[in-house]
Amino acid sequence: MTRVRMGMVGGGEGGFIGRIHRLAAALDGEVELVCGAFSADPERSRRSGAAWGLDPARVYPDWQVLLAAEAARPAAERAEFIAVVTPNHLHLPVAAAALEAGFAVFCEKPATRDLAEARALAEVVAASGRPFALAHTYAGYPLVHEARARIAAGELGRVRRVVVEYQQGWLAADPGGEPWRLDPARSGPSGCLADIGVHAFHLAEFVTGLEVAELAADLAAVVPGRRVEDDAAVLLRFAGGARGVLLASQVSPGEENGLRIRVYGERAGLEWFQEAPNTLWLKGNDRPAARLTAGGPWLGKVARALTRTPPGHPEGYIEAFANLYRAFAAAVRAGGRHAPPEAAWLPGIREAVRGMAFVDAALASSRAGGAWRALPADLAEEKTP
Amino acid sequence: MTRVRMGMVGGGEGGFIGRIHRLAAALDGEVELVCGAFSADPERSRRSGAAWGLDPARVYPDWQVLLAAEAARPAAERAEFIAVVTPNHLHLPVAAAALEAGFAVFCEKPATRDLAEARALAEVVAASGRPFALAHTYAGYPLVHEARARIAAGELGRVRRVVVEYQQGWLAADPGGEPWRLDPARSGPSGCLADIGVHAFHLAEFVTGLEVAELAADLAAVVPGRRVEDDAAVLLRFAGGARGVLLASQVSPGEENGLRIRVYGERAGLEWFQEAPNTLWLKGNDRPAARLTAGGPWLGKVARALTRTPPGHPEGYIEAFANLYRAFAAAVRAGGRHAPPEAAWLPGIREAVRGMAFVDAALASSRAGGAWRALPADLAEEKTP
Amino acid sequence: MTRVRMGMVGGGEGGFIGRIHRLAAALDGEVELVCGAFSADPERSRRSGAAWGLDPARVYPDWQVLLAAEAARPAAERAEFIAVVTPNHLHLPVAAAALEAGFAVFCEKPATRDLAEARALAEVVAASGRPFALAHTYAGYPLVHEARARIAAGELGRVRRVVVEYQQGWLAADPGGEPWRLDPARSGPSGCLADIGVHAFHLAEFVTGLEVAELAADLAAVVPGRRVEDDAAVLLRFAGGARGVLLASQVSPGEENGLRIRVYGERAGLEWFQEAPNTLWLKGNDRPAARLTAGGPWLGKVARALTRTPPGHPEGYIEAFANLYRAFAAAVRAGGRHAPPEAAWLPGIREAVRGMAFVDAALASSRAGGAWRALPADLAEEKTP
Amino acid sequence: MTRVRMGMVGGGEGGFIGRIHRLAAALDGEVELVCGAFSADPERSRRSGAAWGLDPARVYPDWQVLLAAEAARPAAERAEFIAVVTPNHLHLPVAAAALEAGFAVFCEKPATRDLAEARALAEVVAASGRPFALAHTYAGYPLVHEARARIAAGELGRVRRVVVEYQQGWLAADPGGEPWRLDPARSGPSGCLADIGVHAFHLAEFVTGLEVAELAADLAAVVPGRRVEDDAAVLLRFAGGARGVLLASQVSPGEENGLRIRVYGERAGLEWFQEAPNTLWLKGNDRPAARLTAGGPWLGKVARALTRTPPGHPEGYIEAFANLYRAFAAAVRAGGRHAPPEAAWLPGIREAVRGMAFVDAALASSRAGGAWRALPADLAEEKTP
């Protein structure tokens, strides 16, 4: 199997998420980083490329040059897809230009700064016919797929209730400077929801197979002086009647990366926690709670296919991320807009738009004192391609 | 130290909570059950009293007879207080009559069926000058007191965020028959909030020392045909600006008695979970999470005074309940309305009224589509006696 | 049901275990403390009795007086059994004298100072025909019974391997003074094994239903200057071929009361940990680990009968201890040497002798450089009464 | 930084550990697999190489051909080191031949079949002057290094007691066929200790910085018909007086990869468990247990350098393994026998010989009925190079 060639925009040395992308792309040996414009600072971009052993000729001073230069290379050699690992305000311009230049795109979340940008991006994706994936890493964990498969198979009965929370503490104190995530011009009008709330929202829809129809939100900038929310509580109503609660906070000291989902149906419930990702709990009133661990014979086909190690040998965040990259590599190889079966679950432009619609509705609801707001009706239709 | 003499109304054989009251009252040897009207069915009352070795002459066919007969006994012999362990609709009449007859009262929660009844009861309590306690059992756990003491001492900094949840599953399926808890005539207009939500509400105020000022609620009868809610999500605003979320559910399969509270301040956070009650977590961004276990030298005076065993020897629900009874016994011995220092924390009529005001506001908010509702302003004043 | 009347020798104010006995005896209302000689210091004995509201006439200056005075009381009034809560060297004289005076005996562990004393006690028990129980508290936990019942029912297949450990840290530093537990004259020739190792040994035999046939031990006085061991590792061979490891330590800082047992059979394994006593883990290679919690419908008859609270309402050490007292009360009421069915599991003189034989063999093995030593063959025969 | 070129012997498609080696080597982009003889079956070797995109000319039918052909290639192109991922009986011949041909060697554990082979290998390593590393994966976990660093810094006081256990269940039933691990001709005279006991032994010495001086062992082939032990209990004495217990079992149903170490010193204890590898517990009698999580500011320099993700983003087994490969790549780049500082911790030939000496002594002790056996005295001297 030949490696799929990746270019990267953003993600230069020192950044957290750029390194994760490189590690995740490298893990399975199916993706090769061949070029990049790693920073708005050309010198930092150059240093980054050198550190990672790239051909200096393919380390570009900015993303426009990258797209032009790579597009001009022979097909057998040029980057096949672009990973967009920039602050949010560049997602739309970079991703759109890359798609229009014929590249597939693997984009960091949130998809864009706001819903309007996400819709604009969706049009470009549709027109391009190129694969587009969104980095909802947590969808890469095997036990998240196990949860999804069991719910789809009816093991819980009809889903009635979802509690999804994403607790962090790193913004409890002022981090010094104004990180771009707290700057609406670069991040968009939302802080915490755009940064981590979209993960929780995606996870809830991904695991349950349900769509949020409306919501009521209470957002706050808890730390004085912030221009975007750093704490959010959102009540959810799913189409079909299930209820949900989504909590996202970045001002909860001592919480590291506390993404947790609990789903309760008529007959059973389940729970998954990202910090202990190799365990899925399945519970009922009439039987002892079952601890499903990764790699075991009790897991379904999909979870097993996404697992690299035997039981008791933990996998983690990088492996989950690598599962996205591996699925995306399959999609890029397949070439067209429609993903091959093993990549069908990959979050894409539909999830991008829904995520931003969620943020948009939450901001609107909170501004209206917590009034219920529907997600745009047309979004539900995008489900069937 | 002589034993304080207890009479009990309700709580006959076969019931869960009556047995717990008896065990908790007996544990420390400071309370003695001397009489009771244990059931609306006189024969069941009689059988219960016989099983527990009571003097048959003091096992009464109904509570009115009990109050009259006991009041007629010599002071040195008659019951000093009445434990009210009936369905909710009888709390007000029994407690009020008992207080008016000169007995102290230890009352099951929720205080009454609704806020109006709670206010009526408050007037009787005030007029009687007799001790009144409300069975918020979870306030009896030593590590709940430790959490409270550390917050009061400023260890978390200003409290910003509270997440309190109470998850149960036992009503996920129809239990068969209509338990009185699901019958508005006996339970009051609220189901899940009145039954367990009031515990969560009390715990949040008790631990933080803050008062809820307003709330927005989303209640639902998830199981078809129910006349009271069985699932609730409530957003809270505390006086002073802290935010909170309170979740209460009885339709979450596999959840047993999942009362959990997390409190986050400017500098640190803490977490306590009722099903592992001998552990309190203290967390911060800049230090490893600390697991404070019961009985250790790291605990404050109050937590230590409420602990009976050395570290590693678990105490549980009955011991917590017994801490309420022991404090109440001290209050009864002290005689007047004002509790002695060691019983100052005991939930009483103020908490009774606040709990019902919480339920009342939540019902109103939910009926209004989740609009914010303030708790009555006069309630805040009751804090200083 | 009338209360069984208890006298207590030792256990005066300030001591840990005396208080636990009183609480445990009181909990279910089936036992009443009527008299005591609570301390070798008559004044302390008097103060203790006063604090607990005893009739001053029945608070005795020493145990000899107690036995004589109580025996002289009318049958309907005198103590029916004596709880022996003294340092080890007094167990044999007090228990033997009490039995010979016609009292039943509930004795703290270890049974005696050494095997010879235990055998001597066994003869007195046999001659007396009176009930004798040994305070192996951990046998009172419902989930220990569940483990035992499932093994007996063959759920694990043939038992192959047992790992039982009891980790404590309180003697890691010199406690100041020489506690009697470290004084061979009062404690006997063993420290750690006599104090906690016997619990682990009993638990292993109790849960598996197997008997240890031989052992090899490595004991050490880790803290310089100690005359008895404070740390022990013992390899076990059970009759029938199962293997085991028993670890006991009191010099492991940070360990509180870490008694844990793991049993592995041909098909499945189980694990129970005293600090989280309401959970029993059941595991296999071919199925997810099951978390059996207390109070659930998955539990057998015996575990349910020993549980007082619904699922999710933790019970603890005092409740476990109270289960011993309740069973013993039934045995005392039944009167003879043979316990009624509900008390058949109660550790008694057979377990007393086996425990001391275990300690004796471990001391001998360790002195012989870890050579294997058999437990005396005659002990196996005592199983069938 | 240029990639270090790796060849692999063994590890063909379908095997567990070969895949892990490839993933771990690939993760950080510092190692490149350039050639291999992946199976004793040339066709399987060919298929494996093809699946991983290797140059067919460098996929060899056997390891002798590989060594000859690669040695004949230009220095700038040929494999720089050989990963030995074969059954145990081939470790010595392959590794020795590779070293003699000038390649560095990264060898699976156990180093060899027995101590004599390990000593022979040590001579070849010494003569070659080439880097040699042993795949003790668990030494790659950041929190294992944190434990080691804190012990070295004296945080526990003098170490007194070590409990290390490695529990697995996969051999509880007959796996069908005779895996090579159960065949003494290929595995060596030891089963369970050679396979997993050596990990536990290494971890104990690695974390504490102490050396085992003598041991007493009790080994058994629990499943009938086995020619090597599948369960082992070993008592340890460390030079300097610390005591230890090492348990290794592969017949414990439901245990997955339960490697756990607890170390107790005069003042504090610590605990690490491989199945939750991002947490290290630090405990004392006088302070609450501290949960040190990966990535936090409380960690030392070494642990931080071995971590790729922020707090709360789990790393696992592959990342730990990759830390070995990254350190080894540094050693290969440095060229000589002495590792550069960042690779100084890497298990090498000294650990290889000590591991086999441990197995050898345990076999001898068990054959002698558990008599104490010293590890050869000369081994202690190899510590200082």
The ipTM of this complex is 0.96
Q: Is D357 left (phi over 0), alpha (psi -120 to 50) or beta?
A: alpha
Among the partner-chain residues A257, A277, A309, the one whose CB lies closest to the CB of D318 is: A309
pLDDT (mean) for A265-277: 98
Chain B residues lying within 8 Å of D292, measured CB to CB: 288
Other Cβ atoms closer than 10 A to B26: 23
- Give the C-alpha separation, A18 to C183, whole Å: 64
Q: What is the DSSP letter of D196?
A: I
Write the burial class of residue C378 (CB in 10 Å: 0-12 exposed, 13-18 middle, 19+ buried). exposed
D231-249 CB burial, b ≥16 within 10 A, e <16: bbbbbbbbeeebbbbbbbb
- Interface with chain B: mutation pick from A166, A170, A262, highest number of B CBs within 10 Å: A262
| Residues B190 and B248 grouped into a single domain | yes
| Residues C40 and C89 grouped into a single domain | yes
Classified as helix, coil or strand, A71 is helix
The DSSP bridge pattern shows strands D243-249 and D231-238 to be antiparallel
pLDDT at C1 (0 to 100): 66
CATH code of B83's domain: 3.40.50.720
| Residues A200 and A108 grouped into a single domain | no
CA distance A271 to chain C (A): 14
Chain C residues lying within 8 Å of D373, measured CB to CB: none
pLDDT at B109 over 70: yes
Q: Residue A314 contacts by C-beta under 8 Å, 6 or more apart in sequence?
A: A278, A294, D274, D275, D276, D277, D314, D316, D317
- Structure token digits, residue B228: 């009271």
pLDDT (mean) for D188-217: 98
CA distance D370 to chain C (A): 7
If you count DSSP H runs as helices and E runs as strands, how many of each does chain A have, helices first? Answer: 13, 14
Q: Do C274 and B26 touch (CB under 8 A)?
A: no
Q: Tell me if B349 is assigned to some domain.
A: no
Classified as helix, coil or strand, D91 is helix
Q: Are the beta carbons of D98 and D84 closer than 8 angstroms?
A: yes
| Residues A12 and A148 grouped into a single domain | no
- Give the C-alpha separation, A282 to A270, whole Å: 4
For chain C, the domain total comes to 2
Q: Do A310 and D53 touch (CB under 8 A)?
A: no
| Residues B158 and B208 grouped into a single domain | yes
| Residues B155 and B284 grouped into a single domain | yes
| Residues D86 and D155 grouped into a single domain | no
- Give the C-alpha separation, C378 to C384, whole Å: 12
* Chain B residue with minimum CA distance to C17: B309
Which residues of D sit within 8 Å Cβ distance of B?
282, 286-293, 296-298
Interface contacts (A, D; CB < 8 Å): 114
CA distance C379 to chain D (A): 24
- Give the C-alpha separation, B247 to B229, whole Å: 13
Q: How much helix, strand and coil, in percent to the nearest 5, is found in chain A?
A: 40, 20, 40
Q: Are the beta carbons of D206 and D148 closer than 8 angstroms?
A: yes
Among the partner-chain residues A19, A275, A313, the one whose CB lies closest to the CB of D312 is: A275
CA distance C362 to chain B (A): 26
Q: Tell me if A356 is assigned to some domain.
A: no
* Chain A residue with minimum CA distance to C295: A288
Q: Do A218 and B216 touch (CB under 8 A)?
A: yes
Chain B residues lying within 8 Å of D288, measured CB to CB: 282, 290-293, 296, 298
Q: Do C268 and D253 touch (CB under 8 A)?
A: yes
Q: Do C26 and B27 touch (CB under 8 A)?
A: yes
Mean pLDDT of chain A: 95
| Residues D282 and D151 grouped into a single domain | yes
Classified as helix, coil or strand, A344 is coil
- Give the C-alpha separation, A34 to A41, whole Å: 19
Q: Tell me if B345 is assigned to some domain.
A: no
* pLDDT classification of A14: cutoffs 50, 70, 90: confident
Q: Give the dihedral sign, CA A267/A272/A277/A279.
A: negative
Q: Which of C310, C325, C356 is the last residue of a domain?
A: C310
Q: Tell me if C288 is assigned to some domain.
A: yes
pLDDT in tens, B274-306: 999 999 999 999 999 999 999 999 999 999 999
Lowest-confidence segment of A369-383, B1-15, C218-232, C233-247 by average pLDDT: A369-383
Q: Do B290 and D286 touch (CB under 8 A)?
A: no
Residue with tokens 């000169």: B102
Please name which of C203, C113, C136, C210 lies closest in space to residue C165, comparing C-alpha atoms. C203
- Structure token digits, residue B105: 């009262």
Interface contacts (B, C; CB < 8 Å): 114
* Chain A residue with minimum CA distance to B289: A254
Q: Do B216 and A370 touch (CB under 8 A)?
A: yes
pLDDT at B269 over 90: yes
Residue with tokens 């949840």: B165
CATH code of C196's domain: 3.30.360.10
Beta strands in chain B (DSSP E): 4-10, 31-37, 81-85, 104-107, 132-134, 159-167, 212-220, 231-238, 243-249, 258-265, 269-273, 279-283, 289-293, 373-374
pLDDT at C178 (0 to 100): 73
Q: Tell me if C292 is assigned to some domain.
A: yes
Q: Tell me if B378 is assigned to some domain.
A: no
Q: Tell me if B370 is assigned to some domain.
A: no
Q: Are the beta carbons of C28 and C325 closer than 8 angstroms?
A: yes
| Residues D296 and D212 grouped into a single domain | yes
Distance of CA D89 to the CA centre of its chain: 16
- Give the C-alpha separation, B147 to D149, whole Å: 33
- Interface with chain D: mutation pick from C150, C151, C155, C235, highest number of D CBs within 10 Å: C235
Q: Do A20 and D51 touch (CB under 8 A)?
A: no
Q: Which of D253, D285, D310 is the last residue of a domain?
A: D310
Above pLDDT 70, what percent of chain D? 98
Range of the domain at A102: 4-137
Q: Which residues pair with C359 in a beta bridge?
A: none
CA distance D21 to chain C (A): 25
Above pLDDT 70, what percent of chain C? 98
Distances (CA, A) of B356 to B129, B349, C68: 21, 11, 59
List phi, psi (to 5°) of A40: -70, -20
Lowest-confidence segment of A60-69, A120-129, A176-185 by average pLDDT: A176-185
Please name which of A160, A2, D229 lies closest in space to residue B223, comparing C-alpha atoms. A160
| Residues D183 and D244 grouped into a single domain | yes
pLDDT in tens, C284-313: 999 999 999 999 999 999 999 999 999 999
- Structure token digits, residue C120: 């001597």
CA distance C260 to chain B (A): 12
* Chain D residue with minimum CA distance to A321: D313
Among the partner-chain residues A287, A290, A297, the one whose CB lies closest to the CB of C286 is: A297
| Residues B60 and B171 grouped into a single domain | no
pLDDT at B267 over 60: yes
Q: Which of D115, D137, D159 is the last residue of a domain?
A: D137
Residue with tokens 């006349």: B227
Q: Do A288 and C293 touch (CB under 8 A)?
A: yes
| Residues C105 and C242 grouped into a single domain | no
Please name which of C62, C352, C99, C95 lies closest in space to residue C205, comparing C-alpha atoms. C352
Chain D residues lying within 8 Å of A143, measured CB to CB: none
Q: Do A19 and D308 touch (CB under 8 A)?
A: yes
- Interface with chain C: mutation pick from B304, B317, B325, B326, highest number of C CBs within 10 Å: B317
Chain D residues lying within 8 Å of A17, measured CB to CB: none
- Give the C-alpha separation, B36 to B200, whole Å: 30
Q: Tell me if A320 is assigned to some domain.
A: no
- Give the C-alpha separation, A325 to C282, whole Å: 37
pTM attached to this predicted model: 0.97
List phi, psi (to 5°) of A170: -70, -15
Lowest-confidence segment of A335-339, C170-174, D344-348 by average pLDDT: A335-339
Other Cβ atoms closer than 10 A to A56: 8
Q: Do B243 and A252 touch (CB under 8 A)?
A: no
Q: Are the beta carbons of C46 and C59 closer than 8 angstroms?
A: yes
Chain D residues lying within 8 Å of B294, measured CB to CB: none
* pLDDT classification of B177: cutoffs 50, 70, 90: confident
Which residues of C sit within 8 Å Cβ distance of D?
156, 160-161, 163, 165, 169-170, 172-173, 216, 218, 220, 222, 231, 233, 235, 243, 245, 247, 249, 251-255, 262, 264-269, 282-285, 289, 369-372
- Give the C-alpha separation, D34 to B127, whole Å: 90
Among the partner-chain residues C287, C291, C297, the one whose CB lies closest to the CB of A289 is: C291
Q: Do A253 and B233 touch (CB under 8 A)?
A: no
* pLDDT classification of C365: cutoffs 50, 70, 90: very high
Q: Are the beta carbons of C26 and B27 closer than 8 angstroms?
A: yes
pLDDT at A383 over 80: no
Q: Residue A258 contacts by C-beta under 8 Å, 6 or more apart in sequence?
A: A165, A166, A167, A168, A252, A273, A274, A275, D312
pLDDT in tens, A215-258: 999 999 999 999 999 999 999 999 999 999 999 999 999 999 99
Q: Which residues pair with D85 in a beta bridge?
A: D10
C279-302 CB burial, b ≥16 within 10 A, e <16: bbbbbbbebbbbbbbbbbebbeeb
* Chain C residue with minimum CA distance to B23: C27
Q: Are the beta carbons of A277 and B260 closer than 8 angstroms?
A: no
